[in-house]
Amino acid sequence: MSKMIGSLVALAAVGLIGNIIYSAIKPPADLHLQLPPPVVERPSEPAEAEIRYPLERPLQEKPLPALDQSDTTLKVALNDLLLDKALVDLFQTNDFVRHVAATVDNIPRQKIAQRLMPIRPAAGTFAVAGIGENAVIDPANAARYAPFMRLLATLNTEKAVALYGQFYPLFQRAYEEFGYPNSYFNDRVIAAIDHLLATPDVEVPIKLVRPKVLYQYADPEIEALSAGQKAMIRIGADNAAQIKAKLREIRSELMRQVKGGARVSERKN
C-alpha cells in the first residue's frame, strides 16, 4: 500500500493538495508497499494534448524563483498560510514542488514512492487487531492521522488555491520534467481529486492477510485499487469523509479559477 494525501494538502496548500491539501498518509513499515522501479515508464501522450482546466493566473507582483531555488519561498508561503508552525512542520519542504507534482501524478496509479512524499509520515505504527485469519485494521489506527485532519480543518481553501495559482508555473515545469511536455498539470490535479472522491466505501472490519512478512488487504478488489484509494480506505471512514469534503471544496474553488469554469464543470459532470 502507499501513503498519499500529502499531495492533497500540498495541492491545496499550493493545491492540494495537495492534498492540497491534502492530509497525509504514510504506509507503515509492516504494511504491503510496492515501490516503483528507478525509471518509471510514462504513458505516451498526444503531441498536443487538450487542456481541459486552464487556470486564470493572477498577475505576479514579482518574478517567481527558479524551480531549483523555490523551496525557501514555498516554506515562507506555507508559514503565512498555516500560521501554526506545528502544522507547517508536517511538510517536507526539500524539493517541495517536484514532490507535490510527483505525488499528485501517482495518486491514481498503483505505486507511490515514499521518497517523493511532500508530507512527513504519520506517527506511531500501523495498528492491527487479531491474528492470522482474524487480522483486521484496528479502528484505533485512525487516530494516527489526527494532525493531518487538524491541518485540513484549519486550511483556508480559498487562500490555499490562490497560493497554488500563484506558484502554478513551477508545478507545470516540474510536471513537464517528468516526461509530460504537452500535458497540463492542473488537468492532472482535477483528475486526482476526482479519483479520490470515487474511492469506494468499504465495510468494516477490513480484513488483512499476511502471505509472507507484510500485510495486504484480504479482499483482492481492495488490494487492486490505486495507491491513493487504498490510502483513503486505510485511514478510516471518518477521516476519509473529512478529506472528501475538503477535496470537494478545493475542486469547487479550483473550478472558479478555471477559464470558463462553470461551463467546463457542467460539461464534465
Please give the helix or strand (H or E) that residue 216 lies within, else none. strand 216-217
238 to 8, 103, 195, 234: CA distances (angstroms)? 17, 23, 18, 11
What integer pLDDT is reported at residue 185 of this predicted model? 95
- Taking the alpha carbons at both ends of the chain, their separation in whole angstroms is 30
What integer pLDDT is reported at residue 66 of this predicted model? 95
Q: Are 174 and 98 in contact (CB under 8 A)?
A: yes
List phi, psi (to 5°) of 74: -65, -35
What integer pLDDT is reported at residue 43 of this predicted model? 47
Q: Are 120 and 149 in contact (CB under 8 A)?
A: no
What integer pLDDT is reported at residue 213 of this predicted model? 77
What integer pLDDT is reported at residue 74 of this predicted model? 87
- Please count the other Cβ atoms lying within 10 Å of the Cβ belonging to residue 170: 24
pTM of the model: 0.81
Tell me, letter by letter, the H, E, C secondary structure of the chain. Answer: CCCCCHHHHHHHCCEEECCCCCCCCCCCCCECCCCCCCCCCCCCCCCCCCCCCCECCCCCCCCCCCHHHCHHHHHHHHHHHHCCHHHHCCECCCCHHHHHHHHHHHCCCCCCCHHHCCECCCCCCCCEECCHHHCEECHHHHHHHHHHHHHHHHCCHHHHHHHHHHCHHHHHHHHHHCCCCCCCHHHHHHHHHHHHHCCCCCCCCCEEECCCCCEEECCHHHHCCCHHHHHHHHCCHHHHHHHHHHHHHHHHHHHHCECCHHHHHHHHC
What integer pLDDT is reported at residue 12 of this predicted model? 39
Burial-class residue 36 by CB neighbours within 10 Å (0-12, 13-18, 19+).
middle
Average pLDDT by consecutive 10-residue portion of the chain (269 residues)? 39 36 34 34 55 82 89 88 83 89 89 75 86 92 90 88 90 94 94 94 93 88 92 91 93 86 38
What integer pLDDT is reported at residue 45 of this predicted model? 53
Cell 497560493 belongs to residue: 163
What integer pLDDT is reported at residue 9 of this predicted model? 45
CA 256 – CA 260 distance, rounded (Å):
8
